[in-house]
Copies of this chain bind each other. A is one copy, B any other.
Amino acid sequence: MNFKNIKRSIISVSDKSNLKIILPILKKFNVQIISSGGTFKKIKSMGYKCIEVSDYTGFSQMLDGRVKTLHHKIYAGILNIRKNRKHKEDLKIKKISNIDLVIVDLYPFENKLNKNVKYNKLIEYIDVGGPALIRAAAKNFNDVTVISDVVDYKLLTKELLVNKGSTSIEFRKKMSAKAFGLTAHYDSVIAGWMNNNLNIKFPKNISIHGKLVEKLRYGENPHQDGSFYKIENNLGIKQLHGKNLSYNNYNDIYSALTILKYLKKNQGTVIIKHANPCGVSSEKNKIISFKNSLACDPVSAFGGVVAINSSISKNLALELKKIFFEVIIAKGFENDLLKILKEKKNVRIIDSSTFVLKNKKNYLFLGNSFLTQDTNEIIFNKKLKIVTKKKPTKNQLESLKFAFHICKFVKSNAIVLSNAKSTIGIGSGQPNRLDSSKIACDKALKFLPSKIKNSVAASDAFFPFADGIEELIKLGVSAIIQPGGSVNDKEVIKAADNAGVVMVFTETRHFKH
């Protein structure tokens, strides 16, 4: 066993409210405390003994505190290897004492960044002394204990009590790993901020940092352990009711909210199954919107995630109650309506009122590597081009835009059939476009044959051949929207013209995998 007795500590913290947890135990074991500035004053005011760091080093603080603890006497006291005779000798010659415990939290850079503190002010919140102290102690975990998180004050107290003023190597190692996790996170936030300001999208070194929100019951499957981390402090989703969210719930909820974000404000419904939409409607009337999104594939909707882009009305709550959903998401639930929904078995209820999608980049992990790219923000980046003899009516055009819009969120190859602003058939995740077309058509024929008249179709990428659109024409769609750009465009347009069907090119592709 490798226990280390603690005789001397250095404490420097931004958040002083928890000092009361550790000071009594340090006193109990006669641990000397070195501190400076606000922490020093606070400790003294609480009636504990404490040495000012400048008294300890013999070097007065300067540059408004920019250089306080950055002193060799401190670092030699932390970094020396206790069992190394030469190190011992070095310390003796220079009259330097060991420092066995470092308790530091860092200037709250991320916090200030989130509060939109101005650029020049923000720089002052880049802590230099703190990370240096933490890292020195964390490197020398064999001899030194580092506490970098107020949450661990209680653990330290317990550890010292159990081991009579000492800490175990297991404890020190854990605290060391945490410390490096913290400094990595801290610098990742700073680097991200700087790169953003410089408009550098793809820096040489990139770090994506997350804070643990919760350990999940399991991952995508029961034999995989999983956890959920946040990048932004405010996730904007609040669970009001139900069992803990699962890995797949989180994935589906995110898929749903991403689609809603791009629908008209406070309008629309999305139903998600296996991270793909199986019904979307952007009708103004909440009930119609919900019913239409459900009607697109009522079989698949069972056990899915439904997201409403507004608050819930009583009538809607009663409709929602009729169907089994694993998760219901909306922008606010009045108490009495929440009561109605809570009567459903096994439902999780999420308030997404404050959901905002901040990230402008996404990441795709490939084991030893990852891809990163801009999030797919736009829908059309070119003017629409009508390529058939027949031109779309105003209503057709609106419906085409809606269908193409939804295509963006369906896994490729994606075909979306819509009537007005509701999907009536979604073909997703197929290795060729004809298959996706067939699936979408089969759905429409099965569940909504009455809505095929005047329906339109959208494709996330160009049709390489006419076969896909022939399938759609056979079904009876009145108009088709697609990026265009195939070597066979002529043939494809001809097929549309022959059938008297409108075709619109977007010149914008929306692959999603």
Contact = CB atoms under 8 A, between A and B. Distances in A.
B372 A229 contact: yes
Residue among A195, A228, A370 having the largest count of chain B Cβ atoms under 10 Å = A370
Contact of A177 (B194, B213, B278, B512): B194
Contacts of A369: 210, 213, 228-232, 235, 250, 254
Contacts of A136: 70, 128
Contacts of A27: none
A205 interface: yes
Given A231-B369, A428-B430, A208 B208 contact: yes
Interface in A45-93: 57, 59, 62-64, 66-67, 70-72, 75-76, 79-81, 84, 86-87, 90-91
A132 interface: yes
Nearest to A362: B365
A226 B371 contact: yes
A512 B128 contact: no
A75 B67 contact: yes
A123 interface: yes
A229 B365 CA distance: 10
Interface in A189-248: 190-191, 194-195, 197-198, 200-213, 215-216, 218-232, 234-236, 247-248
Contacts of A511: 220-221, 248, 274
Contacts of A432: 273, 297, 299-300
Contacts of A235: 368-369
Contacts of A230: 368-369
Contacts of A178: 203-205
A374 B135 contact: no
When all copies of this chain in the complex are counted, the total is 2
A274 B412 contact: yes
A359 B187 CA distance: 23
Contact of A370 (B81, B177, B229): B229
A35 to B, nearest CB: 17
A195 B175 CA distance: 10
B203 A381 contact: no
A80 B66 contact: yes
A188 B183 CA distance: 8
Q: Which secondary structure dominates chain A's binding surface?
A: mixed
A184 interface: yes
Interface in A123-149: 123, 126, 128, 131-132, 135-136, 139, 142, 149
A431 B276 contact: yes
A481 interface: no
A411 interface: yes
A287 B29 CA distance: 75
B232 A368 contact: yes
A181 B206 contact: yes
B209 A181 contact: no
A6 to B, nearest CB: 20
A59 B75 CA distance: 13
A48 B177 CA distance: 41
A1 interface: no
Given A205-B185, A251-B371, A300-B432, A174 B198 contact: yes
Nearest to A179: B191
A372 B227 contact: yes
A144 to B, nearest CB: 12
Nearest to A223: B381
Contacts of A428: 429-431
A513 B232 CA distance: 23
Contacts of A430: 274, 300, 428-429, 439
15 contacts: A71-B72, A131-B135, A174-B200, A181-B195, A181-B204, A182-B205, A184-B184, A201-B225, A205-B209, A206-B229, A227-B373, A299-B432, A300-B432, A356-B368, A364-B365
5 smallest beta-carbon distances between A and B, as pairs: A429-B429, A219-B373, A300-B431, A226-B373, A177-B194
Given A181-B205, A228-B371, A411-B429, 6 more contacts: A64-B84, A67-B72, A131-B135, A230-B368, A247-B373, A276-B429
